[in-house]
Amino acid sequence: MSDKPVENGHAMASQEQNITQGQSSSGKESFSLLSYGGGHSHIGAVYFLNGRGDVLIQRLYRDGIDPNIAASFRAVVLNAVRASTRSGRMDVQAAPVRVIGSNAVLYYRAADVYLLAITKSNSNCMMILQFLAGLVDLIRSYCKGQFSEDVVKGNFVLIYELLDDVLDHGYPQLTDPAIAKSFIYQKGWATEKTKRRRAAEAQSSTLQVTGAVGWRKDGLKFKKNEVYLDIVENISGLLSPQGATLRADVQGRLVMKSFLTGMPEIKIGLNDRIDDVTFHPCVNLGRYNAEKVVSFIPPDGEFELAKYRVTEGIELPFKATALLTEQGRTRMDVTVKVRSSFDAKLQSMNNVILIPVPPQTARAQFQLSAGKAKYDPKRGALVWKIKKFSGMTEHTLAANIELISTAKEKAAWSRPPLSLNFQIPMHNVWEKNGYKVDKWVRKSCKSTGDYQIRL
């Protein structure tokens, strides 16, 4: 099987047959020459493949096409593209025309779908590639502007009908959506993501034009107007053995519960360090982009107002150091110091510190300044639990570990990082100094299981 890229505008040599413009060799009227530049160019088969190379749709127009051409394309082209991407080379992806066996394969990628046009004739490559791009645009016009693997799977009948009309015995015809919709009336199926996006756009348009609010009923009345806001942050971080911060990341959520009469507008100011923020549809995005003010008419009850991410200006609430000293082949001493750096008035709840130990650990004896500890063989770690950890304090664990002695020489221990799990009510790790929060705003900071200190 040969695998040769073709870089010129034709798949093979110069054309051998001349056809009068607008007429096929049989005298039948053809739009392909008017639309795609003329020439004796026909397509023997069209395939739709997903990113893994699985066939989604295939349509054969001529005999003699290799039935295994899709598998050959996956083995020869897709695997080579993946290998070149991993190695940083992009030359394999530069040739959209390949000769595989006796077939010329022209491929066009749109989103996560590959469109293949197979020909055995002396064909105009640029015309065929232009046709494939036009075919994608035509499908998008029927499917609310979307084209993906899910869209292809959900519109089999429509796409087969389009292929029957835009290719006449393999000769490309017009792919203009305005013309196609004049005789193909079927509507495309839209994905759930597209439906949600269009619904959000419709709500936004309705609000701008009429002032109507689709997420809140008219005439709501309460004896007492109340608003509660929860700021929930999940923090992950990585510290060096010396306590230096190597990585820190916060994923946050603003959860609001409102019981308000009428149609009140609420305004909230956000810290300018926030990245990648996404809002509930009730938020006026135009005002936020212009003034950085979150302005909205809230839904009734509890809802998620926003999600955000913070990567800068993070003050990690805990720092820890660990010293592991081997005493021969059968003993090891471990000393861990954990210090809190948040406000002394606050307390971290349900704190769990996991200290990895060698797999041949038999038992451990502890001396603790707070909490309780045990050796957990299933986790392969010392588990140190402190129910309440006050701010600006330090606690120490000292453990004497007994190791099982083996005759054969043991493999080097990889020393996995120490990890912390905690939850700190009324604390934010990225807040500006001096910032005061009213009592009806509740905050919570907790680790996500990815708060680690290297040993």
Encoded tokens for 268:
């909230």
Reported residue count of the chain is: 455
Rounded average pLDDT over 402-408? 79
The DSSP-derived string for 58-75 is EEE-STT--TTHHHHHII
What does the H/E/C string look like for 251-264?
Answer: EEEEEEEEECCCCC
Query: Which residues have CB under 8 Å from 248's CB, separation 6+?
Result: 235, 236, 237, 238, 311, 314, 316
Pairing of strands 441-453, 226-239: parallel
Q: How confident is the model at residue 94 (pLDDT cuts 50, 70, 90)?
A: low
Lay out the sheet containing 331-340: strands in order across. Answer: 318-327, 331-340, 394-403, 361-368
Q: What is the pLDDT of residues 202-219, one digit of tens each?
A: 555 555 444 556 677 777
Question: Is residue 367 pLDDT above 80, yes or no?
Answer: yes
The pTM assigned to this predicted structure is: 0.51
Q: For position 397, what pLDDT does the model report?
A: 95
Query: How many C-beta atoms surround the C-beta of residue 453 within 10 A?
Result: 25
**Lowest-pLDDT choice from 111-120, 373-382, 443-452:** 443-452
Residue indicated by tokens 């779908």: 113
Note whether 322 and 241 are within 8 A (CB). yes
